[in-house]
Amino acid sequence: MKNFTYHNPVRILFGRGTIPKIAEWIPPEKRVLVIYGGGSIKKNGVYDQVASALDGRGWSAFGGIEPNPLYETCMEAVETGRREKAEFLLAVGGGSVWDAVKFIAAAIPFDAGDPWTIVSEHAPVREAIPFGGVLTLAATGSEMNSGSVISRRSTGEKIPWGSPLVFPRFSILDPETTFSLPERQTANGIVDAYVHVLEQYLTYDVNAPLQGRQAEAILHTLIEEAPKVRANPRDYDARANLMWAATQALNGLIGVGVASDWATHLIGHELTALHGLDHGRSLAVVMPAMLRLRKEAKRGKLLLYARRVWGIDGDDEDRAVNEAIERTEHFFRDVGCPTRLADYGIDPEGWAPIPARVEARWGRIGEHRDIGREEVEEILRLASGTAARGKA
């Protein structure tokens, strides 16, 4: 196992009826700025619950954070926060709102030039406004980590960044808030969480069996619970299990002491930046192709994955690896995320700029840093065609 330091200070308040607990964890004298997305929280009653939890305090709200949150919109919120002297931010929404709030929290006090450099150059964050939130979509893990991904309309970029100063103070995870999710967003979230696990699990063996078993437990949970929410979107237990699984998938725990990959995410972000693909869907496209191209480099872990997660037995290792990759792609499609570029109308001309963009920003990627421009191109080529019938 590799050396590591692990620290996660996020207080999780989990379960039905936990939104009123906001009042316990925001100091009463603080001026609060509630930040939310396009309005789903006004339709499903979450906004009203938050408003009543904040009753009697000084608070205001900023709405309009879009999926794949834009720097431009975040800067409007920064202006609002500065003008109103916000002392505590409250994220109410999915990963995009949480990511936006992390940026806004760091940008409000930032005095070393344009806050965009926090994202583009990873300029050091020396101070951030404290924040907490209410999560309404199980997917990103943003509610229990210190990462964020911000896009910029004017430059067509989508870039991850992070700082230990943007861990949430608390996160309210009430699975009932996710009952109102459209099928597509539930599907995106399941694939996102699944790929977060694969990016930390399917690398190479460093003799860390506990992290491996924890990762497998999350994968099993996602595979078992996905059909239940599809059949009944108001199945509380299934929603609860998905929510906790997604949080565990990217709160850092399964990634300690092991190698991680993240190449699928970095390529996926470019697909989103160029074509607006939902985050989960970009991963559903890239991950199967990534595994096909890199199955030798990942062979040991892929075999373990085949045996332990998909229960594929037998002595034929090649068959086991290939079948595990096919089952993975099939799972993404079953959940509701098409897995090929053609499914989204993206042709080779559409993805042509991506290999150079990835190389220019990140150099060589993957756990062995063996994915360069040519490999990215090959991955996108493998992801292009339609999935073979029956094999997904």
Span of 26-34, 49-57, 143-151, 319-327 interacting with ligand NZQ by CB under 6 A: 143-151
Span of 192-200, 205-213, 255-263, 325-333 interacting with Zn ion by CB under 5 A: 192-200
55's torsion region: left (phi>0), alpha (psi -120 to 50) or beta? beta
Residue number, 151 or 221, with CB nearest to ligand NZQ: 151
Report the residue closest to Zn ion, judged by CB. Answer: 192
Does the footprint of ligand NZQ cover residue 93 (CB under 6 A)? yes
Does the footprint of ligand NZQ cover residue 145 (CB under 6 A)? yes
Does the footprint of Zn ion cover residue 192 (CB under 5 A)? yes
Does the footprint of ligand NZQ cover residue 136 (CB under 6 A)? yes
Pick what 67 binds: Zn ion, ligand NZQ, none; C-beta below 5 to 8 Å, kind-dependent: ligand NZQ
Determine the size of the site formed for ligand NZQ (CB under 6 A): 35
Residue number, 21 or 196, with CB nearest to Zn ion: 196
Pick what 354 binds: Zn ion, ligand NZQ, none; C-beta below 5 to 8 Å, kind-dependent: none
Residue number, 78 or 150, with CB nearest to ligand NZQ: 150
Pick what 175 binds: Zn ion, ligand NZQ, none; C-beta below 5 to 8 Å, kind-dependent: none
Contact status, residue 139 vs residue 67, Cβ threshold 8 Å: no
Tokens linked to 110? 């930032």
Does the footprint of ligand NZQ cover residue 329 (CB under 6 A)? no
Q: How far is the CB of 258 from ligand NZQ (least distance, A)?
A: 18
The Cβ-side half-sphere exposure at 364, using a 13 Å CA radius, reads 8
Q: Pick out residues in 23-42 that bind ligand NZQ (CB under 6 A).
A: 37-41
Span of 15-23, 52-60, 95-103, 381-389 interacting with ligand NZQ by CB under 6 A: 95-103
Determine the size of the site formed for Zn ion (CB under 5 A): 1
Strands of 32-36's sheet in order across = 11-14, 170-173, 131-135, 88-93, 32-36, 59-62
Does the footprint of ligand NZQ cover residue 264 (CB under 6 A)? no
Residue number, 139 or 297, with CB nearest to ligand NZQ: 139
Does the footprint of Zn ion cover residue 176 (CB under 5 A)? no
Q: How far is the CB of 260 from Zn ion (least distance, A)?
A: 12
Amino acid letter for position 208: A
Binding residue for ligand NZQ, selected from 68, 73, 214, 328, defined by CB under 6 A: 68
Angle, CA 72 vertex, CA 57 and CA 98 arms, to 5°? 50
Binding residue for ligand NZQ, selected from 49, 73, 163, 185, defined by CB under 6 A: 185
Does the footprint of ligand NZQ cover residue 265 (CB under 6 A)? yes
Pick what 120 binds: ligand NZQ, Zn ion, none; C-beta below 5 to 8 Å, kind-dependent: none
Does the footprint of ligand NZQ cover residue 251 (CB under 6 A)? no
Does the footprint of ligand NZQ cover residue 19 (CB under 6 A)? no
Give the residues lining the site for ligand NZQ (CB under 6 A).
37-41, 44, 67-68, 93-97, 99, 136-137, 139-142, 145, 147-149, 177-178, 180-181, 185, 188-189, 192, 250, 265, 279
